[in-house]
Every structure is written in structure tokens, then in C-alpha cells.
Amino acid sequence: ENKSLFLNNFGEKLTVRGLEYIMEEIEKKTGCFLKLHPHKLRHSFATKMLSQGADLRVIQELMGHESIGTTQIYTHVTMEEMQDTYKTAFPRTKKKVEDN
């Protein structure tokens, strides 16, 4: 019995190419051509986990990366997150800018 999470019509592990095909078919049927690929989903997953407060090491394990550096490549930080972090670290900066 195959213990893979996603199986194809033959009960075998779904390949990346198989998933790409499924995504292409969904795009055709919906008319929504976003050029989705499994690789983009990995980036989205890692970024969402990070933005929701998940530890980078946890994300690394979930993604199966040996190197945390690889995980960092998959995660993206928004401008809003950078601004919020900066304001938290330097709360007086905002006040100084507003005073000028």
C-alpha cells in the first residue's frame, strides 16, 4: 500500500508533472490563468507559515530541507511585516519623524 499523501489515478505517488497537469486543467476549466506550479505553492506555504509566526526550523522540517538556508529562499517577507517589525524595535523613530 502506497503511503504517499497524494496519489494519481493508478494509486501511485503523484509526481510534480502530474500535479502540474492537474493545475493546468483547473486553469483551463476556470479560465483563471495564473500559471500555477507546485513550486509556487511551496513558496506560498513557507511564506504563510512564517507570517503566521511559525518558527523557521519548523518550516524547514515540514518542507524537508536539510539546510535552513534553502528554507529562507522559500520564505518572503512583506513590506508591511518589515515596517511593523521596525516600528516594534524602534518605537521612538515614528515619534521623531512625526515631530519634524
pLDDT digits (tens, 9 = 90+) for 42-75: 999 999 999 999 999 999 999 999 999 999 999 9
Cα 64 to Cα 72: distance, rounded to the nearest angstrom? 13
pLDDT of residue 100: 52
- Residue 96's pLDDT band (boundaries 50, 70, 90)? low
The pTM is what?
Answer: 0.66
Whether 95 has a pLDDT exceeding 80, the answer reads no
3 or 44: which carries more pLDDT confidence?
44
Average pLDDT over residues 20-32: 90
Tell me the CA distances in angstroms from 20 to 26, 33, 56, 71, one per residue in order. Answer: 10, 13, 27, 22
Cα torsion 39, 43, 48, 54: sign:
positive
Cα 50 to Cα 82: distance, rounded to the nearest angstrom? 13
